[in-house]
Structure 1
Amino acid sequence: MKCFYYFKDKSRSREQRSAPELKEQSNSDYSGSDRVIKSSCSANSPRGIPELYEEKAHNLRVFTFSELRQATHDFSRLLKIGEGGFGNVYKGSIKTAESTGDPVVVAIKKLNNDGLQGHKQWVAEVQFLSVVEHPNLVKLIGYCAVDGERGIQRLLVYEYVPNRSLGDHLFNRTYPTIPWETRLQIILGAAQGLAYLHEGLEVQVIYRDFKCSNVLLG
């Protein structure tokens, strides 16, 4: 996925970071299109994304490459559910952190080393998405970072949202027509997610790529 936002600290310097994913009734496609988002520290907090990340990093699960390769049947084409500037996205199944209970279905995004994004953008996405926490935003579960015989491997593991994008349901005739009441619920959910990004974080985010293809239905 190729997606960026711009972060301003008190000195007004800017760094590229990646955008969050809008989820469920307000959820962005894992392989979504380009976007630009501006953010700035609130007047009450000079802290930036790296500082906020330090508080949240322990919530992310660190996966081995072999775990994610097994989860996707060696990144099988049959499990591919999207692609973008970042790389391909696969549906996978992982064990819970406690290794008890049923496996958890996830979306695994694998960095394409020949793609448009690189390690810095990957780090930015990990840091930013670890800070974002809202029921209408896709949750980042964990990541994998390995430099080995297979080369540089960078992967992100998200919660899986099963029902594809709002755009698919609106424009693909194989799906039933969405009732107006449901459409209003989707709009409300999206508005709640956007309000959180704009006003609910220490770092303000203005999402500027809001469209039906970036809204996934849970």
Structure 2
Amino acid sequence: MKFRGMKCFYYFKRKSRSKGKISAPEEHSWVDTVTKFSSCSAASPRSIPELYEAKGHCLRVFSFSELKQATHGFNSLLKIGEGGFGCVYKGAIKPVDGKGEPAVVAIKKLSKNGLQGHKQWVAEVQFLGVVEHPNLVKLVGYCAVNGEREIHRLLVYEFMQNKSLEDHLFGQAFPTLSWETRLRIMLGAAEGLAYLHEGLEVQVPV
């Protein structure tokens, strides 16, 4: 499954949004890196880091223990995806206030030896932290741990309960999509691309 915002134009995307967001604590030293790291050209009116500084701090900051508990210790039975970056697990997180039902999420755990390094991880946090469109997967929050023994980088996304478009097009577990449904999917993908090109203050190459 693909979870990067620029590649996830899911017709089957769940529309509900997670509530109870909290700001990133300023005392985390790595947050300065998120704010300062730039992946945009100097010609942009406002860079992705600048946009993130303006509105990206609504992301929820998770502790590693929270996400470990949410995935039952990153149980292999809850693994829903794997790639060069690491693994993605299905998990359930409690609301910020501890009240109400847990929310089902997808948790991407960066592999220590993965293809995605720290800078790429920071860029993903910055970018998805400012993207807001119903046809793009929403980033709920993140976890960054810089310990003497272990370093952890994780991203928490809203969970795609109906699987990915790839599953519906090529998988054997779902019925064949009608041409009307395929057209609606293409229109949804086009809307997502148009947003990335024109809806953001910076132009995103896709």
| DSSP 3-state at the match of 2:57 | helix
Aligned residues: 181
1:90 aligns with 2:76: no
Q: Tell me how far apart the structure 2 counterparts of residues 69 and 149 of structure 1 sit (CA, whole Å).
A: 19
Amino acid at match of 1:148: G
Assess if the C-alpha contact under 8 Å between 1:26 and 1:190 holds in 2: no
Q: Tell me how far apart the structure 1 counterparts of residues 40 and 84 of structure 2 sit (CA, whole Å).
A: 22
Instruction: Specify whether residues 177 and 39 from structure 1 end up closer, same or farther in structure 2 by C-alpha distance, changes over 3 A only.
Output: farther
CA displacement, residues 47-78 of structure 1 (integer Å, 9 cap, x when unaligned): 10111110123210000000000000000000
Q: Tell me how far apart the structure 2 counterparts of residues 2 and 94 of structure 1 sit (CA, whole Å).
A: 21
Q: Tell me how far apart the structure 1 counterparts of residues 81 and 149 of structure 2 sit (CA, whole Å).
A: 23
Assess if the C-alpha contact under 8 Å between 2:63 and 2:143 holds in 1: yes
1:100-115 matched pairs, under 5 angstroms: 100-115=99-114
Stretches of structure 1 lacking an aligned partner (at least 5 in a row): 4-17, 28-37, 208-218
Residue in structure 2 matched with residue 213 of structure 1 by the alignment: none
TM-score by length of 1: 0.76
TM superposition shift of 1:41: 7.5
Q: Tell me how far apart the structure 2 counterparts of residues 91 and 107 of structure 1 sit (CA, whole Å).
A: 5
CA displacement, residues 76-109 of structure 1 (integer Å, 9 cap, x when unaligned): 0000000112110000000112322110000000
Assess if the C-alpha contact under 8 Å between 2:137 and 2:158 holds in 1: yes
TM-score by length of 2: 0.80
1:22 aligns with 2:8: yes
Q: Tell me how far apart the structure 1 counterparts of residues 100 and 2 of structure 2 sit (CA, whole Å).
A: 35
**What RMSD, in angstroms, separates the aligned Cα atoms of the two structures?**
2.5
Q: Tell me how far apart the structure 1 counterparts of residues 118 and 40 of structure 2 sit (CA, whole Å).
A: 21
Amino acid at match of 2:137: V
| DSSP 3-state at the match of 1:204 | coil
Percent of matched pairs sharing the same residue: 69
Residue in structure 2 matched with residue 202 of structure 1 by the alignment: 201
Higher strand share: 1
Residue in structure 1 matched with residue 27 of structure 2 by the alignment: none
1:61-210 matched pairs, under 5 angstroms: 61-148=60-147, 150-207=149-206
Q: Tell me how far apart the structure 1 counterparts of residues 139 and 10 of structure 2 sit (CA, whole Å).
A: 14
Stretches of structure 2 lacking an aligned partner (at least 5 in a row): 14-38
Higher helix share: 2
